[in-house]
Amino acid sequence: MKKITELLETRIAEAINEVSGVDAPALVRPAADAKFGDYQANGVMAAAKQVKTHPRQLAEKVVAAMDISDICQPPEVAGPGFINLRLTDGFLAERLLGMHRDAERLGIDRAEMPQTVVVDYSGPNIAKQMHVGHLRSTIIGDCIARLYDFSGHNVIRQNHIGDWGTQFGKVILALWHLCMARKVHKSPYYEDDLKAIDSNKENTNKLYEICVQIRNRHNEDYLNDQVEEFGDANKIFGPFLDKLDTIIDDVWPDILKAYQFVNLLDEILIGMDLSIITRQKGDDKWEPVEIPYENLTRKITAMLQIGGQDNQQEVDAWGLIREKTMQHCEDIYHDLNVTLEHPRDTRGESYYNPVLPDVVTTLKSKGLAVESEGAMCVFPEGFTNKDGQPLPFIIQKSDGAFLYATTDLAALRFRLDELKAERVIYVTDARQALHFQMLFAAAKMAGWVDERITLEHVTFGAMLGADGKPFKTRTGGTVKLKDLLDEAIERAKGVVETKNPDLPAEQKAAIAKAVGVGAVKYSDYANNRNSDYVFSFDKMLAMDGNTAPYMQYAYARIKSIERKAAGKDVDIAKELDGIAALPLAEPAEKDLAKLLVRYDQAIAAAMAECRPNYLTGYLYDLAQAFSRFYTACPVLTAEPQHRPARLLLCDLTARTIRHGLSELLGIEVVEQM
RNA sequence: GCGCUCGUAGCUCAGCAGGAUAGAGCAUCGGUUUCCUAAACCGAAGGUCAGAGGUUCGAGUCCUCUCGGGCGCGCCA
């Protein structure tokens, strides 16, 4: 079915054109206040301005010229020139029956012109657990993908994981430490070092002392690990890597700790002026070389990115780590009910690595990439730095390494050329806005993007703690997504336990999960994505207000009615099957009905601006209207002439809530709670 | 310095190409249960939409300036 606003829009715009001769949109909106009717057309006033006439008079003429009697009661002109519209009972009933007939899609049409849409979201990093910083991208992106999917577009999800770049070296180094800790020192020294560094962060002298010890041990272990030639690692590290695939599950938690250690060390070392021995290729063989300690991970990264036979072992280890990380992410996606599937939707930075040189050569040959201060840069128009100079989009560092700008260019080109994307939506936090502006500008300069293609950066703000500062654990660490979800589920479990203690344990656990995870997701969706928002378990798990539990509760109440029907000799299927007329006498019935027929519009609004909160706002209005209806209008005990209509309202409300929550937001509904 | 973004009730937030008297929830005060889940519903109170100009028949929304918060601005992602 066509959207009601669209139907009215077309008819009224025609009338405006007929009367005034201008092509002005009718601007049909749901009425600001129910007392003005159901919808209002605001476009006449603008049209009147164009033809320089009195808006009210023009509105009267438009009303006289238009024929919408099959949809609305006779319209009224109000205020400076609003046209107020009230649906006829017959039309409203017909819409509800239309939704009833097409129960799967609730009567909502697919897009007339399906597009291929790439949605880039989530993007976790390798060798790290997902943390709260990944939550918003993951679920907002997922909602956008689901919306486009439902509308009949060809959606290609892309999980652009961080599996290349500096982490590469860090992970290998973490593995190395893990290996030495186990094989040589027989103790997880990295854990002790981690603690020591943490507790001496303020004490520079002590910190330096610790780092010197770490460096000395590191050097010693490195020099000790060779069989034939310098630094061949064939004595200790090599054999360890060879059997890594058989022990990866066991050592995984330790790898993460060692990785944390390497990360922290990387930060701390800056400015300490400590050096470390590593190797570099001489004429023909490896030679020792001393480099600044803080450069070590970058050095390893650079070596490994060169690849080749020398590094095959490490590359394989890398692959293992990557798959292991993705397993963890998949678990989270499963818990979050997110539609990303590995490996189908995974194309990370490493995927584009082979074509990065070509990206640079191509841009060079087009004269777009030029050398500046040793780095290859594109200078898109209109971007300046603090000194008013053209701002570079750096695609190759002076040491020859590539950056995320290069990878993003390669990925964009791939999505346009190979995936045939007509729309590419990037879901990342707002801090990257400048990067994407420049990325899009550079791609356009390169001629990769024609006018039919839309590139979109969907931004979002930060998650804050109760203190208004970035959301962290009590000790200041990042909050792991897994822990966050577990706590939400645990809290929800407590509520279920007090409210409904008699349910079977298994069912209580399922409810707790649906409510807990749903609450976390919903509270994020319900905020305007651009604002930073304050994370609060108490608020998101409240039964009052715009929350997942409130919505789930409304759904559960309807399901409860359905369960009770049999006991009261009501055959719902039979009553709905033959339904033809819908006498909606009670105000609460009508209010609910009028909201039900607006679901399509809510979806369209949410999609147009990639704003899930338009959808949650609608669902909340709907659930509220249902709760009022539920209080005011008995269903099962209603008079026989009223009951089928009420059963239909219940059924459509349940379907709409379930569709909105479960299909579009990925939030589970429950039969009981 | 330039750019992006935000500033709406005591608190947390909505407000969908400018539209009628700016809305929720929490907190506060009051009411509703022999009846399908009261995890609910109804009502009261609460606002100079940061401030000042401007455009417009009409501005929380658009423009200019000011104040305040967050973020970004050459080799991290």
Q: Is the CB of A605 under 7 A from strand B?
A: yes
The answer to whether residue A407 scores a pLDDT higher than 80 is yes
Q: Which residue is nearest to nucleotide B33 (CA to C1')?
A: A631
Burial class for A402, CB neighbours closer than 10 Å (0-12, 13-18, 19+) = buried
Q: Can you give the pLDDT at residue A220? A: 96
What's the mean pLDDT in A359-381?
95
Query: Do A203 and A75 share a domain, yes or no?
Result: no
The answer to whether residue A204 scores a pLDDT higher than 90 is no
Q: Can you give the pLDDT at residue A315? A: 82
A341 found inside a domain: no
Find where tokens 């070392």 sit: A269
The answer to whether residue A413 scores a pLDDT higher than 80 is yes
> Which residue, A271, A288, A306, sits at the end of a domain?
A306
Q: Is the CB of A11 under 7 A from strand B?
A: no
CA–C1' A80–B52 (A): 29
CA–C1' A552–B72 (A): 40
A523 found inside a domain: yes
A259 found inside a domain: yes
A498: which nucleotide lies closest, measuring CA to C1'? Answer: B39
Name A residues 420-439 whose Cβ lies under 7 Å from strand B: 430-435
A251 found inside a domain: yes
Asked if residues A189 and A183 have their Cβ atoms less than 8 Å apart, the reply is: no
A385: which nucleotide lies closest, measuring CA to C1'? Answer: B73
Query: Do A80 and A177 share a domain, yes or no?
Result: no
Question: In the numeric block, which tokens belong to residue A455?
Answer: 């590139």
Find where tokens 């001489």 sit: A282
Q: Kindly report the average pLDDT of chain A as a whole number.
A: 92
What's the mean pLDDT in A292-319?
80
Q: Is the CB of A302 under 7 A from strand B?
A: no
A194 found inside a domain: yes
Q: Is the CB of A5 under 7 A from strand B?
A: no
CA–C1' A127–B20 (A): 57
A564 found inside a domain: yes
* Residue A12 lies in domain: 4-87
Q: What is the bridge-based pairing of β-strands A423-427 and A454-458?
A: parallel
pLDDT digits (tens, 9 = 90+) for A326-339: 999 999 999 999 99
Q: Is the CB of A46 under 7 A from strand B?
A: yes
CATH number at residue A556: 1.10.730.10
Name A residues 114-143 whose Cβ lies under 7 Å from strand B: none
Q: Is the CB of A503 under 7 A from strand B?
A: no
CATH number at residue A37: 3.30.1360.70
Q: Is the CB of A539 under 7 A from strand B?
A: yes
Query: Do A505 and A603 share a domain, yes or no?
Result: yes
Confidence of residue A202 (pLDDT cuts 50, 70, 90): confident
A166: which nucleotide lies closest, measuring CA to C1'? Answer: B76
Domain count, chain A: 3
Give me the numbers of helices (H) and strands (E) for chain A, helices first please: 25, 15
> Which residue, A306, A332, A354, sits at the end of a domain?
A306
The answer to whether residue A302 scores a pLDDT higher than 80 is no
The answer to whether residue A164 scores a pLDDT higher than 90 is no
Phi-psi region of A308 (alpha: psi -120 to 50; beta: other; left: phi over 0): left
**Chain B: nucleotides under 7 Å from a protein CB?**
1-7, 12-21, 23-27, 35-42, 56-58, 69-77
The 3-state secondary structure of A478-527 reads: CCEHHHHHHHHHHHHHHHHHHHCCCCCHHHHHHHHHHHHHHHHHHHHHHC
> Which residue, A256, A280, A306, sits at the end of a domain?
A306
At a CB cut-off of 8 Å and minimum separation 6, what does A52 contact?
none
Q: Is the CB of A380 under 7 A from strand B?
A: no
DSSP string covering A407-442, please? Answer: HHHHHHHHHHHTS--SEEEEE--GGGHHHHHHHHHH
ipTM of this model? 0.96
Confidence of residue A283 (pLDDT cuts 50, 70, 90): confident
pLDDT digits (tens, 9 = 90+) for A49-72: 888 889 999 999 999 999 999 999
A364 found inside a domain: no
A312 found inside a domain: no
A77: which nucleotide lies closest, measuring CA to C1'? Answer: B20
Question: In the numeric block, which tokens belong to residue A401?
Answer: 């390494």
Query: Do A178 and A83 share a domain, yes or no?
Result: no
